[in-house]
Amino acid sequence: MRITVIGAANIDIITKSKSKIIPGGSNPADVSLTAGGTARNIAAMLAHRGEDVSLITAVGNDPFGGILRDSCRNIGINTDAWIVKNNTSTGINLITQENNGELHTSFGAVTAPESIRTADITKHKELIRNADLLILDLNLTEKILAVILELREGSPVMVDSVSVNKVKRADGLLDKIDIMKLNRVEAERLTGITLETKERVKQAAYNLINRGVKRVFITLGMAGVCAAENNSAIFVPALPIAVKNKAGAGDAFSTGLAVKFDKDLRAQAESGIALAAEHIGRKG
């Protein structure tokens, strides 16, 4: 299966406290620098599973951009379509975690994907048109998302909503999306429905289906996932797992959706849950 992923690649600088974080105090910690970004993470997980993956992203003409590109090539991701910008910096995400792996704070400076222009994308139209599955993250601007969706010529499209601050970028494009993954707060922002009960979660899922998305997956943490298509919505429970690392769990879930994108609704949801659980249970 040929998969093209388009979106963010950035450097994650992760600080994990050795004990419970004391606000305002000095906290001993372990610090690591790793490749990250929603699109890059999904591409990397797919490559590790043996898929034929191409990643289209934008980075700065700086050392971090070179580190990212080398790391992707080394695991088998096709980076021929990378866009290197002289007037912007490679994205950086600063993450602090509690000693148990819980996210404490996250600060993102991921602007390189927003510098992508129409000409940058059209020169790689064959990678988009020939993909068996096209995966987009919402670090891309509305304009570029629309350009990509016009170029795809029938390739099924999956969208990862990335964050509550960026989910509205998909608002006018929902009728062109085959599969959409959101978490609870992102679904609330996009639909205007507060997800206080299972019935309200279903209403939000149907809202997106009625606006054109073919399949919707709303992740609910330990409450599992609501998956919907047409007039059918199901709840699939989370797997019991000792949490060791939550960072990137949403990207793992999206990867699970991708590898089973042509299966039925429940099988696709279960695949996402299984990969997310595997990721959460792995020491960060």
The predicted-structure confidence for 81-134, as pLDDT tens digits, reads as follows: 999 999 889 988 888 888 877 777 777 676 889 999 999 999 999 999 999 999
User: Is the per-residue pLDDT at 243 higher than 70?
Assistant: no
Domain ranges for the chain: 1-134, 156-284
User: Is the per-residue pLDDT at 205 higher than 80?
Assistant: yes
User: Is the per-residue pLDDT at 73 higher than 80?
Assistant: yes
CATH of domain 156-284: 3.40.1190.20
Tokens at 251, concatenated? 């990207």
What is the Cα–Cα distance from 57 to 67, expressed in whole angstroms?
14
For residue 154, the tally of other CB atoms under 10 A from its CB is 6
Check residue 87 and give its pLDDT: 85
User: Is the per-residue pLDDT at 26 higher than 80?
Assistant: yes
Q: Do domains 1-134 and 156-284 have the same CATH topology?
A: yes
pLDDT, averaged across the chain: 92
Check residue 281 and give its pLDDT: 73
Neighbour-count burial for 218-250, b at 16+ CB within 10 Å, e otherwise? bbbeeebbbbbbeeebebbebeeeeeebbbbbb
Query: Under 8 Å CB-to-CB from 100, ≥6 apart: which residues?
Result: 243
For residue range 256-275, list pLDDT tens digits in order. Answer: 999 999 999 999 999 999 99
What is the Cα–Cα distance from 138 to 128, expressed in whole angstroms?
16
Closest CA to 42 of 28, 26, 53, 27: 53
User: Is the per-residue pLDDT at 207 higher than 80?
Assistant: yes
Check residue 244 and give its pLDDT: 63
Greater confidence, 94 or 39?
39
Please tell me the class of the 1-134 domain: alpha beta
For residue range 50-59, list pLDDT tens digits in order. Answer: 999 999 999 9
Q: How many residues does the chain have?
A: 284
